[in-house]
Copies of this chain bind each other. A is one copy, B any other.
């Protein structure tokens, strides 16, 4: 059901926006946006939240409002992908300044709604409020699942894999911060990331991942989370890294840094039993048009180390995996 709201310009805007929202499976969304809380009927759920702030996670001049919304949706939904959950719904809190363009909030929300609906998630509710300055958008993603894939179940002997190419988004950010125009591929990787939901479900349906994370902070940082959670060491083979072509254009050393530490890739990183993925890799690439790359292995120990082409192990270089704004400030 769509619940009408009371008077006021702020509520008019939400009402207009809600009128366009699909309500999804009415059997399971018992009360949709507009009441105090959405009421849903669902069994085993994955829930995650992700906040994006103008000036920290994005700059408004680099995105259309719809892209800000779509990106926020995919960033939150990417955490569901990392658990191999099927998107069910999203809740959105959005703050814009009083003097923001009148359609900014609605455009962001619309971009978010469309992106969420493309993954099968419906808008369950939200909060629209004032910001003293930056646009703030926080998305809670709710997914359903039978068997969760967590970070903590990698075992020595497993192989380490990533989907897609790494460092494309970071390459675009590096260009933008240097007032260079990024090439279209890297700009798209940064501006319009796509949560790897279908890919995660495909992998999970074949029982391939033993542990999985999504790459939001960069492979170096996120692999460290997986290693810590599983109490194992991860060895990353530097020559195997699927470095995005746009990152390679920054030179070899910068490219490695961008692919390991740049963040914002939203690819999947997972461990699998040795030999299990190789036989299905071509199928994966045929279905999704994405490479699936073995980037290393799991051993006993702790932390993440880098293995050079000569087989020597090196501690992970100090690649930044914080957000760009504090780095550049």
Contacts and interface: CB of A to CB of B under 8 A. Distances in A.
A31 interface: yes
B129 A56 contact: yes
Nearest to A136: B136
Given A5-B228, A138-B49, A152-B1, A37 B79 contact: yes
A47 B229 contact: no
Given A51-B138, A92-B49, A130-B53, A98 B40 contact: no
B229 A34 contact: yes
Contact of A7 (B41, B138, B224): B224
Most chain B CB within a 10 A radius of its CB, from A48, A55, A224: A48
A50 B127 CA distance: 6
A225 interface: yes
Given A6-B225, A35-B150, A44-B40, A136 B49 contact: no
Contact of A6 (B51, B138, B227): B227
A3 B151 contact: yes
Most chain B CB within a 10 A radius of its CB, from A37, A45, A143: A37
B51 A136 contact: yes
| Top 5 A-B pairs, shortest CB-CB distance | A6-B224, A36-B82, A37-B48, A51-B93, A37-B46
Given A37-B79, A38-B48, A130-B326, 7 more contacts: A4-B229, A47-B125, A49-B92, A50-B127, A53-B131, A55-B132, A132-B134
